[in-house]
Amino acid sequence: MNGRQRYPARLSVKPMADLPLTLSPQTPADLAAIEKLDERAFGPGRFARSAYRLREGIEPDYGLSFVARVGTLLVGAIRMTPIFCGDRPALLLGPLTVDPPFRSSGIGEELVKTSLNAARVAGHELVLLAGDMSYYSKIGFLPVPSKRLIFAGPVDPQRLLYCELVEGAFEGVTGKVRRASQESKPTPSKANHA
């Protein structure tokens, strides 16, 4: 098994006292249900967001992207997509979607933690997102220093956040945040040194 841990196929957690929640890796079969969930949560304006355009046409990394179910009902999803920050391989987290009736129940935080842990285990070092600092700071995200990264399309600079999965991974990272084509998908940096 080449010394690297494998992430479990299914993980059961209980962030809510009375509702059993199951997290599992996304599969292509989940995409239609996730699209409906995104539509309910974000509406049609989601397609205009810069992060959506950056992910457009690129499949998520299914081993790092998860869904949350209560019974058979899909109530949450998180996506990780390979990108580049300048020349450094990274992951773009998002969208993180939780069905409105299930918000404020810990599902979103469980999805983020599970996805970050899977990325760390897989050897990735850096994650970027456009999101709310007050929410993501408690999970280890920090604001990108002003003008260090140029995001594709308009994004509020105060919402551009990063998380180091390996200490020092953001050191020296500058330049344009760009999509990874299917041909130029970045590989985890750590895996290249193993």
Query: Digits of tens for pLDDT over the chain (194 positions)?
Result: 444 444 444 544 444 456 688 999 999 999 888 888 888 776 665 544 556 666 677 788 999 999 999 988 899 999 999 999 999 999 999 889 999 888 888 899 999 999 999 999 999 999 999 899 999 999 999 999 988 998 777 778 888 999 999 999 999 999 999 888 654 555 565 444 33
The span from the CA of 18 to the CA of 39, in Å, is 27
Place of tokens 């397609």: 47
- And the tokens for 32? 């239609």
Cα-to-chain-centroid distance, residue 110:
12
C-beta of residue 55 within 8 angstroms of C-beta of residue 81: yes
Domains, in order of start, for the chain: 11-193 (3.40.630.30)
The span from the CA of 23 to the CA of 76, in Å, is 9
